[in-house]
Structure 1
Amino acid sequence: MLGPTQISQQSGAPTVHPVVNRFVLLRSLMQRVVVFVVLLVLMSLLPRLLPGDTLDVLLDSNVQRGLQNSEIADLRDRLGLAGSLVEQVGRDLARLAHGDLGYSLLHGAPVSHLLADALPWTALLIALATPIFLGVGVTLAAEAGRQPGARADRVITTSMSLLTSIPPFITAVLLFLCFGILWPVLPTGGAEPLFPAETPLLRAQEILRHAFLPSLALALHEVVRYFFVLRGEVAVLASRAFVLNGRSRGISGWRERRDYFGRNLLAVVCARLGQSVASLFTASLFVEVIFSYPGVGALTYHAVLDRDYPLLQGAIAVLALLVLGLTWLLDALTEILTRRG
């Protein structure tokens, strides 16, 4: 009797060795390291090409009248704003290479402390948005793709097509208007009330209420992407022999959606999830500004306006490290799921 290896060799099927997968993952990791370094260089260079710098923001016209040019030049040197563009970028990269994110003069605090305070709020929004867009996106894709061309498919696909034309910041504004002004049932600003509750349970409920609308705006941004990708996969699966055989044996409803569609979509969901993480961090910039939410997105937005170079570079560096690391882990998980079939 021939073993599995001999059968695969005689049939001409290629044998995939685990080393190949490790090499692919290592190459993917090195590509992300290169992207991270290039991003750090760009985020140190590009903000300095904008008009004005940190000192120009700090010095208003009244204060500037009382300072001599020599004093302003001395301040610029002490703030690390003197020298050529290459020298300034080199100082930034050397500081980041030593793990020093710098100090924000406008906030009067180390950048690491500011990010440590803001990052949990952004993570909360993404953590709440992820199960929403995954659940809704997978469910609608399964309902539309299991019978392509049917009435449910036409209605759902048309609705998703309309939703995909709305940018995330417009979605956030519409939610703000609907549930904050026209029907004011949810808070539309901040992460907590002005006077937080004393008990942990009530405070957690207040935090969730404040985070619901921003997380819903992020979720709607990703639902459409998942729907169109997964609907095509479900439509292909619906024509496969094992699904047709299952239906002929009377399998339908929840069991069909879970066992025949859901399990076969896991690899696709994981592969798309890496892109969703990066997209959600980008969309949080607009959503947090609209809802005055104290996350990394709002912090980055104000850092651009204030020409706060250390804060902007630190925020981008931390976000890039998180996104690239998470996408690499999700790529590894997708590779495992794909190999398992």
Structure 2
Amino acid sequence: MPGDTLEVMLSTDLARGFGAGEVLKLQDSMGLGGDLASQVWDYSVRFVSGDLGYSIPHAAPVAELLLAAVPWTGLLILSATPIFLVCGTLAGIEAGYTPKAGLDRWVTPVITFLASLPPFTGAVLLLLTFGIIWPVLPASGAESLFPVSDRLGQATDIARHAILPVLALALHELARFYFLARAETISLVQRDFVVNARARGISPWRVRWAYIGRSLVPVCLSRLSDTMTGLISAVFFVEIVFSYPGTGYLIYTAILDRDYDLLQGAVVFMAGFVLLANWLIDGLAGRLAERG
């Protein structure tokens, strides 16, 4: 996008009367002076030394802003992941165990509809339903304007504010694991070890969870590795809709303010997080596959 932080600031009434010399001095003091190559070199040197830069609109170091925002994003991701991973997989196993009957006949069309909704659409629908039409949950923010003093009350308040963002994030990824588990279960019920287990009269519940469920663990973990990038993109939109003070909302404000130091620092951090998470998940999936 064109422009920089200084141009955004100069577009306000506060900048009236600034001369060309004063603008050049401001550019130099804000690290925006010189040509593109020199700016890239200066940023690279600072980045290698561990300095992610300074956010002028926020008047704070980028690292400090990220440390304040990352826990909120982590709360949403860590809360939503067990929901869509467990619920989607279990529902997919049940639907694939008896395809075209019972649960499969009713749940699959609903999951298909949810899969067609972009993350921001699902977030807006949840916000409209439970935050405005039927206001039973907070519609924005991570805490109340005047938070309670005791820890239990504060934790409850944070949990209530996180319910709608977590649900929006979980519903976006639920379909992915539902269809994966359903397809794998349809294939597994035809395998010899499952056919023999059913022929020996083993309980259907044990066949579902002990035989099919265990076989799906490496597959689901591998898909979770592929899901990380989509999950990060989804949390970006969800945080914007609910004005949630996480990394996604921080990136959004950085784009509006042309705050490139903050934007670059946040993108680098999120990219590193995705790579690290994929490496850990792939390693764990490989170990589980080796053990059988």
In the alignment, is the contact (CA less than 8 A) between 1:273 and 1:330 conserved in 2? yes
Alpha-carbon distance in 1 for matches of 2:93, 2:221 = 16
| Aligned-residue offset at 1:225 | 0.9
Instruction: State whether structure 2 residue 72 is matched by structure 1 residue 121.
Output: yes
Partner residue of 2:279?
328
Correspondence for 2:144: 193
Q: What is aligned with 1:28?
A: none
Give yes or no for contact 2:96–2:183 (8 Å, CA) kept in 1.
yes
Larger radius of gyration: 1
Deviations 1:236-256 (A, max 9, x none): 111111111111222234322
Q: Which runs of 4+ in 1 moved over 4 A?
A: none
1:168 aligns with 2:143: no
Equivalence for 2:19: 68
Alignment of 1:150 onto 2:125: no
Q: Offset at 1:144?
A: 1.1
Task: For 2:240 and 2:12, locate their aligned partners in 1 and report how far apart those are by CA, in whole Å.
Answer: 28
Q: TM-score, normalised by structure 1?
A: 0.83
1:272: which partner in 2? 223
Q: Which amino acid aligns with 1:57?
A: V
Unaligned segments of structure 2, at least 5 residues? none
Contact 2:9 2:15 in 1 (8 A): no
Residues 95 and 102 of structure 1 are in contact (CA less than 8 Å); yes or no, is this contact kept in structure 2?
A: yes
SS at match of 1:113: helix
1:54 aligns with 2:5: yes
Q: Cα offset for 1:131?
A: 1.0
1:82-101 mapped onto 2 (5 Å cutoff): 82-101=33-52
**Partner amino acid, structure 2, of 1:205:** T
Output one character per residue of 1:225-274: Cα deviation in whole Å (capped at 9) or x when no partner.
Answer: 11112211111111111111111222234322210111101101111112
8 Å Cα contact 1:104-1:311 kept in structure 2: yes
Which residue number corresponds to residue 155 of structure 2?
A: 204
State the SS of the aligned residue for 2:165: helix
The answer to whether 1:108 aligns with 2:59 is yes
Q: Specify the code of the residue in structure 1 equivalent to 2:211.
A: Y
Listed as ranges, the gaps of 5+ residues in structure 1 are 1-49
1:243 aligns with 194
1:335, CA displacement in angstroms?
Answer: 1.1
Q: Secondary structure at the match of 1:193?
A: coil
Q: Secondary structure at the match of 1:180?
A: helix
- TM alignment of 1:246-257, pairs within 5 A: 246-257=197-208
Change (3 A) 1:63 1:196: closer
Deviation at 1:61, TM superposition (A): 4.1
- Give 2:251's match in structure 1, choosing from 296, 300, 308: 300
Give 1:317 deviation, angstroms.
Answer: 1.1
Matching of residue 218 in structure 1 with residue 174 in structure 2: no
Deviation at 1:196, TM superposition (A): 1.1
Amino acid at match of 1:206: D
More deviation in 133-142 or 74-83? 74-83
- TM-score w.r.t. the length of structure 2 is 0.96
State the partner residue of 2:269: 318
CA distance in 2, matches of 1:133, 1:160: 12
Q: Distance in 2 between matches of 1:160 and 1:185?
A: 25
Contact 2:132/2:139 (8 A) holds in 1: no
Write the distance in 2 (CA, Å) between the matches of 1:183 and 1:281. Answer: 29
- Cα deviation for residue 150 of structure 1 reads 2.6
CA RMSD in angstroms, aligned pairs only: 1.3
One-letter code aligned to 1:122? T
| Alignment match of 2:85 (pick from 128, 134, 147) | 134
